[in-house]
Amino acid sequence: MNPKTKHGIFYFTDNRHYHAKERERWIAEFLSLRIGWLLLTSEDQIAIPEPFLQTLLECEITPIIRMVRGLVINQKPTVGFELLVKTYSDWGVRYIQLFDRPNSSAFWDSKSWARGNLVERFIDLYLPYAEMLLKYNIRPIFPSLEVAKGFWDTAFLRLALESLERRRHQWLIDELVLSAYMHLYDPSRPLTWGAGGPERWPKTKPYQDSAHSQDHRGLYIADWYETLARATVGKSLPIILMDDPFLKPIDLSQEEIHRRTFHVIQRLLDPREDEAIEIDGLRLEPFPREILCLGFYGLPSDEIENEPRAWFLPNGKPEWIVKEIKEVLAQNGKNGKQPHTIPHALLLPQLKAEELHQELERLKPFLIQYQPKIIFSLQEAFQVEHLWLPEGLTQLSELEISELERHSCILHTLNLAGTRIAS
């Protein structure tokens, strides 16, 4: 089993690396790096092979499908698109991101970009796609925006969330996952840049640089987006941070790039999640709890072009950063929390005696097979290695799920017959 982390990585965009040999080679590497999330970019509407996705899920690695190209602007979802979404859902995919940088002129044709109400028009485009994802139990990830360019991203996001609120689309707000490109490799900005968000830097304004203020162009972009979400929809939203595939570092050596990446991963994997920590003289503050994963561009983009962020050479040989990450994981394991004291448990809500009897009778096949401890407390669940959740009965919030994963609990869902349907 792969204890869940927020450590993510982009996978190759070509089809060669989905074959069995490549699949086995790279997934084994991901497990050794405690990768918990894999970002899969689909350039067309052809399904990523089922054996690849099933292997990820069996290894407790969550796939995120990024369908950021190939969708026609100003066109509603096609029958083929719905079939693809249903297929992914049947295979266990639970996160899909549609579209990319709708606040950029490159997303639109020249006439559409020049027209007014850009955000409203994008929401009109996005809604039927998001509704279709939710129809098949897949959470929609809002597109990553071009940071600090074009239609200023924080303004675009604020207007988009206000639009959903005004239209009373609470059904989407409750399931929406935000995303953001984190800028890690600007030598003019340290990794601490922008930490604390607009509450710490209230004088920051779009399109203006100030020697006395900091903005969201950095590692702590989630501090800014989450503050914005709370101000518009009244609550924080889960968010995925990722390296920008097209924003390659400039004016930094590969050693400096890897050193910055390594510092971020040290912060991410450190068990002191709620404390600021010192790393090579930098005081890195805690990340917002709403972050589901940080996705790094750690694999070579192809066998010809040099990708300075890659942790591996084109021939597959690891760079020094891979060894360093594994050493951090080993050290964290030595200093980590106490091991789980309960191997299997079934988490139930508080029920009346008659209801409890009915539920236990319904789950009898599962109870006989796994002989789990039956618990009713989230605190007790933190001590469980494999935690089973009956579908439609035990409902957990994003924060509760995050807390369980922080305690390295492995979550499983049971269907009405008491059999496993997902992890």
CATH at residue 412: 3.40.50.2300
Cβ contact 269:329 at 8 Å:
yes
CATH of the domain at 133: 3.20.20
The pTM for the full model equals 0.81
Same domain assignment for residues 286 and 361: no
Count of domains observed in the chain: 2
| Alpha helices in 5-151, H assignment, sequence order | 20-32, 50-58, 79-91, 110-114, 118-135
CA distances from 308 to 106, 184, 185, 261 (A): 25, 13, 11, 11
User: Which pLDDT belongs to residue 2?
Assistant: 55
Task: Walk across the sheet containing 384-390 and list its strands.
Answer: 373-375, 342-347, 384-390, 410-414, 420-422
Q: Determine the residue type at 412.
A: H
Pick the last residue of a domain from 334, 369, 395: 334
Same domain assignment for residues 381 and 293: no
Pick the last residue of a domain from 334, 350, 371: 334
Residue 188 structural domain? 7-334
Pick the last residue of a domain from 334, 359, 387: 334
User: Which pLDDT belongs to residue 303?
Assistant: 46
Same domain assignment for residues 371 and 321: no
* Rounded Cα–Cα distance for residues 257 and 191 (Å): 12
Percent of the chain with pLDDT over 70: 95
Mean pLDDT on 207-221: 92
Same domain assignment for residues 380 and 238: no
In a domain? residue 118: yes
Same domain assignment for residues 158 and 219: yes
**HEC letters along 30-42:** HHHCCCCEEEEEC
Q: Determine the residue type at 225.
A: Y
Q: Does the pLDDT of residue 149 top 70, yes or no?
A: yes
In a domain? residue 132: yes
In a domain? residue 2: no
Same domain assignment for residues 383 and 314: no
294 three-state secondary structure: strand
Same domain assignment for residues 138 and 251: yes
Output the six-digit token pair for 8. 């993510």
Cβ contact 362:416 at 8 Å:
yes
Of 186, 178, 196, 318, give the one whose Cα is nearest residue 236: 178
Express each pLDDT in 227-260 by its tens digit: 999 999 999 999 999 999 999 898 999 999 999 9
Same domain assignment for residues 281 and 399: no
Mean pLDDT on 253-276: 94
In a domain? residue 33: yes
How many C-alpha atoms does 157 have within 13 Å on its Cβ side? Answer: 30
User: Which pLDDT belongs to residue 418?
Assistant: 44
In a domain? residue 1: no
DSSP symbol at 115 = S
Same domain assignment for residues 363 and 296: no
Same domain assignment for residues 85 and 178: yes
**In degrees, to the nearest 5, what angle opens at C-alpha 335 toward C-alphas 332 and 339?**
100
Express each pLDDT in 288-299 by its tens digit: 999 999 999 999
* Rounded Cα–Cα distance for residues 401 and 220 (Å): 22
In a domain? residue 161: yes
| Alpha helices in 136-253, H assignment, sequence order | 153-166, 170-173, 197-200, 221-233
Mean pLDDT on 31-50: 92
Same domain assignment for residues 272 and 392: no
Same domain assignment for residues 51 and 180: yes
